[in-house]
Chains A and B, each alone.
Chain A
Amino acid sequence: MYYFNLFALPNFILSAWILFISILVLLKKSKTLVYLAYFCTIAWFFGCGMAFLSVDYLTALPWIKFLFSGIILICPSLYHFILQFLGLLKLRKEQIRLLISYLVSFVFLYFTIFTNLLVYPQKCWWGYYPHAVLPLHPIFLVWFGIVYFHSVRLLFVSLYKAEYSSRQKLQIRYFLITYIVTILGGIDFIPDYGFSFYPFGLFLTTIGISITAYGIARHRLLDINVALTRASIFIFVYTLVLGIPFFVGLKMLGFGIWLFPIALMGVFATVGPFIYFYFQRQAEDRLLQEQRRYQATLRQASAGMGKIKDLKKLLNMIVYVLTHAIQIEHALVYIYNENQKKYVLGALKRKAGQSDFVDSIEMNSLIVDYFLENRNPIIYEEIKQKALDYKDPKLIHIKEIILTLMGALVVPIFIDQNLTAIIVMGKKESGSLYSEDDLSVFSILANQTALAIENAIFYEQMKLTHEQLFQAEKMATIGTMADGLSHQINNRFHALGFIAGDAIDTIQMNQKELSQDKMKEVLKELERAFIRVQENVVQGGEIVQGLLRYTRKGDAGFTAVDVDAVLKSALEMVQFKIKMHELKIVREYDVTTMPKVKGNFTQLQEVFFNLIDNGYDAMMQRKKEKQEPGFQPTLIVRVFKQDNLVQIIFEDNGMGVKDEDTHKLFTPFFTTKLSSKKGTGLGLYVIKKIVEDNHQGQVEMVSKYMQGTQMKLRLPIAIG
């Protein structure tokens, strides 16, 4: 039956190890076929182990057959896996080759299981082991070699093919190493021929299999050179560390029972470091859990920072995140103010109760100097200690400053060489001090904060520039209306002149004879004249008022805007630029039910003005170029509610825009208008800025060349 044989132990241990690895790989990558080869290997190892334990020939026989069956199937199953991994399974010729290998292996299986023509049990000094039978065994080895080397060749060639990613190629390199290592496992075939040495090839096979598993399952693979170097160093060191005592022991004591405990020690020494690192990491993770948590929070916050463009909001967000993530008593940001030339309190977050915070830091403050010299954060406790140790008056002074700021930690924020802001953080609520780890996190945070602040400042300047731009564009537009405006105003004066002139003439002509009736008639004529004078004055006044309204900067605020009113006022202005009688304006909306827009009246008026002006020019251009008889330039204005937005569409039947010009249209100074006198080239650019940046809306253009254009605006709806 069976007896206890120490030599079987490695086999069982390694079978268990490979089983464990197979399960791991299956869990991570269930679709891979490598487990076929793994199970064959398990069969081999386990069968071998059982054979070693066998007492006699008959007990060993089935196990020898079992283990050799496993060995036979390893080859085709590995080949199958390689084909699957390289994506070559669909190739006809490879499919045929695979089929042949399986068929051949089944033939060998038959011989192994049902006959003794391939192997039979042979008693060696370590236990029963398969013995080769000529001629089939060598044939088997040859076939094994063929399939094996074909697989290696496929792997090797694929390293040079472009269709595999670099990650796949790295995996292929791992597999190649496996193949090379496992071929050394082929040493185990040698005892088949009667050579008497212990078949330690299974250790090499196990290593190979472990490498394969690593290559399949691990997401991030070590660079192969790194992996090999590490493995080599490990093997070298351990061979020395374990080998030397063994060698010395053998020399001094010869073979004996002492080998067993020493071997055990060797195993533990090998495994030891891994266990040590594992536990160490677990323990540290637990210890630093708290710290890791808030460091993660801070990292997240810094990622989100870049998106906030409003400086005030950004600073508030920073202090909020700091107090909440780290759980500290308070956090303040002092930001450099250009006008006041000092660092002004920009944002603060505190626990209820505390109120006496410093509201600014002077430029010439020692702490500013300190930061300009050393760009590092200051921990209060540290500088307090340093001040005591070195008795440096400067340090003492700085310590005092930090005390008044009520900071436990003060972090400088630099943009290039300029100290843009200073963040003051209070004590941690837990009472613990700021650590080295903390400081490194805050340094990174400081950099990102600097970028975010720079971004926000830039954005504010951009907004200012935009406002200046809108104003400039409006002024320039007035220039294009000069003709129309001055004509209108001129006409008022001209009319006033004629009216007065005629009235004066009437008086002069009737100075001599003034009968009652004639007097009445003259007075009536004069009355009429003065009425007309007033009318002209009123009209003139209205033109001036309209112009003033247009040129005025207007509030930046948002109200519920009546679209029809904006259209009216835009038309009021645009009449000085275009010939209104040529244009037909169609309003497709119901004034009573149409939605109101949440926006700025003056800015929307500018948008409408430009849209009408552009539409008019396009239509005039079409009129001039196509010369269609009966062509009626028409501008249709549609307003309707869509979801929770107001859709406004200006549709004209003008020239339209060529496809190649579409993307350039909204860039400043680009114009397709015939006469550049007609515009500033900023119209659409300004429209886009007003609608998208200021109103958070959208502007879209749909145009058909020579047929017309639709300008679609989507604006927020006014609620309530």
Chain B
Amino acid sequence: MAKLLIVDDESDIREFARNFFKKRQIDVFVASGGIQALDIIAKENPNLVLLDVRMEEMNGIEVLRELRKKNQSSKVIMVSGVEDEETIKEANALGVIGYIHKPFILEELEKIVLAQFNS
């Protein structure tokens, strides 16, 4: 089963995205913060990580940096709200599959995720 990690500090996002993807037989893990995310990545090695940029304690870029430091090559898609050029540049430098801007609907997300799992 494909493993998906959703990292977002909003509980509704985690809950309903998980509901959604569980119905598609995807193993969904959730993390509310960067530290939790790194933990799960280390343990479960998900196929795809949906990483929210704006989080309270450790933001998405920092998580990405940590990942790349540990040579973790997990595929990451950055989920961003209102981001500026710099953040995008940094993310690209650290290596991300892509970028999606909030708000977007689950249908769109489904397409992207499935595309990744199938490639």
Contacts and interface: CB of A to CB of B under 8 A. Distances in A.
Interface in B82-103: 82, 102-103
Contact of B102 (A494, A509, A536, A581): A494
A493 to B, nearest CB: 4
B105 interface: yes
A536 B10 CA distance: 11
A495 interface: yes
Interface stretch (A150-158, A403-411, A498-506, A622-630): A498-506
Contacts of B12: 495, 498-499, 532, 535-536
Residue with the highest number of chain A CB atoms closer than 10 Å, among B12, B54, B82: B12
A341 interface: no
A532 B81 contact: no
Contacts of B10: 491, 494-495
A501 B20 contact: yes
Contacts of B105: 497-498, 500-501
Interface residues of B, number: 20
A196 interface: no
Given A490-B102, A495-B13, A502 B19 contact: yes
A581 B56 contact: yes
Nearest to A491: B10
Interface in A485-544: 486-487, 490-491, 493-502, 505-506, 509, 525, 529, 532, 535-536
Nearest to A483: B82
Q: Chain A at the B interface: mostly helix, strand, loop or mixed?
A: helix
B106 interface: yes
A322 B78 CA distance: 78
B81 A502 contact: no
Given A499-B12, A532-B12, A494 B104 contact: yes
Interface string B4-38: 00000010110111011001000000000000000
Nearest to B17: A498
Nearest to A579: B56
B40 to A, nearest CB: 20
A581 B81 contact: no
A497 B81 contact: no
B44 interface: no
A502 B22 CA distance: 11
Contact of A491 (B20, B102, B104, B106): B102
Contacts of A499: 12, 16
Contacts of A581: 56-57
B66 to A, nearest CB: 18
Given A495-B16, A579-B56, 20 more contacts: A490-B81, A490-B82, A491-B81, A493-B102, A493-B103, A495-B10, A495-B12, A497-B105, A498-B12, A498-B17, A498-B20, A498-B106, A500-B105, A501-B105, A501-B107, A502-B20, A502-B106, A506-B23, A529-B16, A532-B15
19 contacts: A483-B82, A486-B82, A487-B54, A490-B82, A493-B102, A494-B10, A494-B13, A494-B102, A494-B103, A495-B16, A497-B104, A498-B17, A499-B12, A502-B16, A505-B20, A506-B19, A509-B23, A525-B19, A581-B56
Interface of A: 483, 486-487, 490-491, 493-502, 505-506, 509, 525, 529, 532, 535-536, 579, 581
